[in-house]
Amino acid sequence: QQQVKQSPQSLIVQKGGISIINCAYENTAFDYFPWYQQFPGKGPALLIAIRPDVSEKKEGRFTISFNKSAKQFSLHIMDSQPGDSATYFCAARPTGTASKLTFGTGTRLQVTL
Amino acid sequence: DAGVTQSPTHLIKTRGQQVTLRCSPKSGHDTVSWYQQALGQGPQFIFQYYEEEERQRGNFPDRFSGHQFPNYSSELNVNALLLGDSALYLCASSLTTGQPQHFGDGTRLSIL
């Protein structure tokens, strides 16, 4: 049962452009929303995370925007670089479950020269 | 500082067999979670171990079982393997439950 819907499935962005990946959730009892980056042959690496009491969080070129009323959150990658080419997963953690992350289906990002 | 390490990296089994996958958490971490990642999909939570006990479980059958040792390392066991069990199995560790999880590079399990 899909509880976190992620879009788009794939994304092509030119170098220097902005990459935007969106996620929507159905269960309101989530209290932690991380984004993971995964390169081929590697495990997911934590990129940035946000809690629902904050509307935006920025770390370097990566920004999470969170809209609690719409149950949506998005990842913005500014000044996208070829090295950012990877698969990105949003996730959500149900309140009280401590570690049980529910992942989206992933977005394959390709940054072209 | 070693991160999460998993072994083996690749494994080929046949239907009906049993398999054991191993995970050593990141130094200082005491909580281990296991995930299954099918090709082209996001990881799915199998279960979490803390203080040598299974604390949470996802929607996986009893064929999937685990263990955590006093040194916090963990094993995932899968019995009566099915073709659908072919996937990347990821181990994630954290400093106590609720803290950010760090993933290993996984074990690629192929069932013939």
- Is residue A61 packed enough to be buried (19+ CB in 10 Å), middle (13-18) or exposed (0-12)? middle
pLDDT in tens, B17-29: 999 999 999 999 9
Mean pLDDT of the region A42-71: 94
| Residue A17 burial class via C-beta count within 10 angstroms: exposed 0-12, middle 13-18, buried 19 and up | middle
Task: State whether B40 and A49 contact (CB < 8 Å).
Answer: no
**Taking Cα atoms as reference points, which of B86, B79, B81, B80 lies closest to residue B110?**
B86
Q: Are the beta carbons of A99 and B48 separated by less than 8 Å?
A: yes
In terms of Cβ atoms closer than 10 Å to its own Cβ (0-12, 13-18, 19+), residue B55 is middle
The answer to whether B93 and B32 are in contact (CB under 8 A) is: yes
Q: Which residues in B have their CB inside 8 Å of a CB on A?
A: 4, 31, 33, 35, 40-45, 48, 55-56, 58, 90, 92, 94, 97-98, 100-106
Q: Per the CB < 8 Å rule, is B101 touching A89? A: no
pLDDT level of residue B51 (50, 70, 90 thresholds): very high
A to B CB pairs, distance under 8 Å: 60
Q: Pick the closest to residue B37 from A98, A105, A24, A36 (CA basis).
A: A105
Question: Rounded to a whole number, what is the distance in Å from the CA of B41 to chain A's nearest CA?
Answer: 5
Give just the sign of the alpha carbon dihedral A4, B36, B66, B92: negative
In this structure, what token pair is assigned to residue A96?
A: 């009280």
Q: How confident is the model at residue B14 (pLDDT cuts 50, 70, 90)?
A: very high
Residue B31's contacts (CB-CB under 8 Å, 6 or more residues apart) are: A99, B25, B48, B49, B50, B72, B93, B94, B95, B96, B97, B99
Q: Which residue in B has a C-alpha nearest to residue A40's C-alpha?
A: B105
Q: Is the pLDDT of residue A26 over 60?
A: yes
What is the average pLDDT score of chain B? 94
